[in-house]
Structure 1
Amino acid sequence: MHRPLLAAALVVAAVLLTGCASGDDWSKPRPRPSAVGELGAGFVDRAGTPAPESTVTPSPGSWSGVRPSAGTRVVLLAAGHDRTTKALVKAVRGWAKDEAVDLRTVTATDAADLVPAITRALDMSPDLVISAGNDLIDPLATVSPSHLDQEFLVVGAELAEPTENVTAVDWSGASFRGEGLGMSSTYDPASFTDARCAAAVRAGAAAVLTGHTGIVVWLDTF
């Protein structure tokens, strides 16, 4: 090989190797992410921390001052191809892009893959797992209590009896709870607008980042 061609090949190889090694390996230990900014007035009662499994109704926009630190590792755990799940997935990806979140996606292929998909997400040791899709609710209720060191955020649904590591964002038009309880009588797919889903992701992430976990963030006043 001619020297100029050899030199060019070596440069390309070096760039490729550098790209593969830069920031892609989640196995390396690092400090836990932190919240950048503070919650606004009206997100929670400042007089006390919300009780586990309680519901808070934050003032619109009271979460907008909180962002994840750059590089926060998040797994988007998705199941289903319905309109509502697609809207939630879009919202999570938009939030991750805006906030420089290191986002990876795990998608359950069918009913038999729901628990294995959760396991794949857990094996990645992310800072946060965000769940999108009603089909994941019952499997999450089974798996999450055994992994209390892993934070979960459920958007557009909630677990009937969540542990302290599962936070949910819900509203009247969503509110699916699983465990044979059926769909809420107020369920409305049209309520999963781009704006509401985006707000739900941001409000839920803000709750988790500021330590308000194991609660339901209710966005009916959005």
Structure 2
Amino acid sequence: METGMTPAEIETLFDRGDAGYVFARWGRPLAPVVFGVQEQTLGVIKGAFEAIVALAGHNMAEVDPELGSNVMVFFLRDWDELLAVPDLAHMLGDLPDLVARLNGGDASQYRTFRFDDGGAIRAAFVFLRMRGALAEMAAEDLALSQAVQVMLLWSDQAFAEVSPLAVAHGQTILRPEIAGVIRAAYDPVMPAAARDASHALRLSARLAAGEGAQ
């Protein structure tokens, strides 16, 4: 199956407008925790993270030695619920302003990241307001989509028009070209962070090398 992407196509996945090209991957194992779901859903979400982390050739951990949990996923019915979460304002800063912006924009999801001194991802916060289309998604599909979007610092427009998922033979799968980018991004020869678009050329080359090895 052809999974290659041109450097220009890859560049758009990490182009943050005025900020230019901004790439980052995790520099430590992922230690996720999930709030606001039933027990049976926890296994689905954990399984999705395990699958994407394995795809990347990266690692998961029960506990992050510095932060305890470094991926926090919150399922909500209303953004105002965030105001009642203990210590969240300490982690996110001006929480009332954030909640006001999310309500004003009628947002369905929000992600924010923290980085180490080298620019690699050290923590991620994911907030999902379970209404509309998001609430109608199958749990497996929603979990897989969120795991993909946490694995790299994608552009905020990377999946605005085309989902990272696709349907093949009646089953939802990760789009092969996106899977290829994740694998290439976690190749040990690649940097954990990059701010130059020439990085997209290197990713494209790793993709081509991976296809040639299949």
TM bracket (short chain): 0.3 to 0.5
Greater RCO between the two (CA within 8 Å, min separation 6)?
2
Q: Which has the higher helix share?
A: 2
Larger Rg: 1
TM-score (normalizing by structure 1): 0.38
TM-score (normalizing by structure 2): 0.40
